[in-house]
């Protein structure tokens, strides 16, 4: 079975709510295995067919943990080439972090990314959560087509 990692970072819970909804959408297809994690090691990334990163934006940047993960993967020459990638996150006014994640996935790791990232202003509404579910479903269906 194809595997999806939903890796997220959230300080006040907004992006966490999005992550849960993305996971719900991905699991609804019943055809993929979904792990939701707050932290993984770079070596863990190779076990997944799709990597979906959720990150809020603080000080126009992504959290250090997320940066370290990508840095570690690059230093250890961990290949993510051809894996499916997507990004989402809550933001307050600029929302750079998910865009940065997608650029790194695409340009550094040669992943096949879904653009643009899903950005939600502050606390996600029910409509936003439905968009998160749709993102999870889309990623899941992409994997089913490439399998």
Ligand X SMILES: Cc1cc2nc3c(=O)[nH]c(=O)nc-3n(C[C@H](O)[C@H](O)[C@H](O)COP(=O)(O)O)c2cc1C
C-alpha span between 31 and 1 (Å, rounded):
7
For β-strands 2-9 and 84-91, DSSP reports them as unpaired
Closest approach of ligand X to the CB of residue 7, in Å: 13
Segment 109-128, which members bind ligand X (CB under 6 A)? 122
Q: Which parts of 61-90 interact with ligand X (CB under 6 A)?
A: 90
Distance CA 86, CA 51 (A): 7
Please give the C-alpha separations between residue 31 and each of 41, 74, 106, in angstroms, as whole numbers: 25, 30, 25
| Helix, strand or coil, per DSSP, at residue 133 | helix
Stretch that binds ligand X, among 33-41, 69-77, 92-100, 104-112 (CB under 6 A): 92-100
Does 91 bind ligand X (CB under 6 A)? Our answer is yes
The correct pick among 41, 46, 47, 60 for binding ligand X (CB under 6 A) is 60
Q: Which is nearer to ligand X, 91 or 109 (CB)?
A: 91
Q: Which residues bind ligand X (CB under 6 A)?
A: 10-15, 56-60, 90-95, 122
């Amino acid at each position: 079975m194809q595997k999806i990692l939903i890796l997220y970072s959230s300080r006040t819970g907004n992006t966490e709510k999005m992550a849960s909804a993305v996971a719900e959408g991905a699991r609804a297809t019943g055809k993929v295995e979904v792990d939701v994690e707050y932290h993984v090691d770079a070596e863990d990334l190779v076990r997944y067919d799709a990597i979906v990163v959720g990150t809020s934006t603080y000080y126009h940047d992504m959290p250090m943990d997320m940066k370290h993960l990508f840095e570690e993967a690059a230093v250890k020459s961990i290949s993510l080439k051809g894996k499916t990638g997507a990004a989402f996150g809550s933001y307050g006014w600029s929302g750079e972090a998910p865009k940065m994640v997608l650029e790194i996935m695409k340009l550094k790791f040669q992943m096949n990314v879904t653009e643009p990232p899903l950005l939600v202003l502050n606390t996600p509404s029910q409509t936003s959560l439905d968009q998160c579910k749709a993102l999870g479903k889309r990623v899941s269906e992409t994997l089913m087509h490439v399998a």
